[in-house]
Amino acid sequence: MSARRWTGALVCAAALAWGWLAAAPTGFTQSAVASDETDFQGMPPGKGREETFYACVVCHSMRLVTQQGLSRDRWDEAIDWMVEEQDMPELEPEDRKLIVDYLAQFYGPDRKAGKRSKQ
């Protein structure tokens, strides 16, 4: 069931993105896609970056995520809250661990948005 909900959310996000891209002028579309694919909205490279990006941007911008500065436990609680209260699809355990680890490493209390070191 969780994989089915997750797939549905990704399909919806892809459909919305496709509609937006199809309506955009050609030059803008190519540069916007290349920029997003290259930098993941400024997220630093690391294990779990891609999984984190695609799990989060289905519902909100990465800016909302990167400004939080939560501990690992608080990131884990935030995912519980999003699943229970915001209808976020349940993550597979291995994906959840990757995502929480990534968030805690790059967006923990000592690395709030704009203050993390370049790695």
The per-residue pLDDT for 80 is 97
pLDDT beyond 60 at 18: no
User: Could you tell me the domains of the chain?
Assistant: 2-106 (1.10.760.10)
Q: Is 89 helix (H, G, I), strand (E, B) or coil?
A: coil
Phi-psi region of 95 (alpha: psi -120 to 50; beta: other; left: phi over 0): alpha
Query: What global pTM score does this model have?
Result: 0.63
Percent share of the chain, pLDDT over 70: 61
How confident is the model over 92-99, as a mean pLDDT?
Answer: 97
Taking each helix axis from N to C terminus, what angle separates 49-56 and 93-106, rounded to the nearest 10 degrees?
Answer: 100
Highest mean pLDDT among 15-24, 92-101, 110-119: 92-101
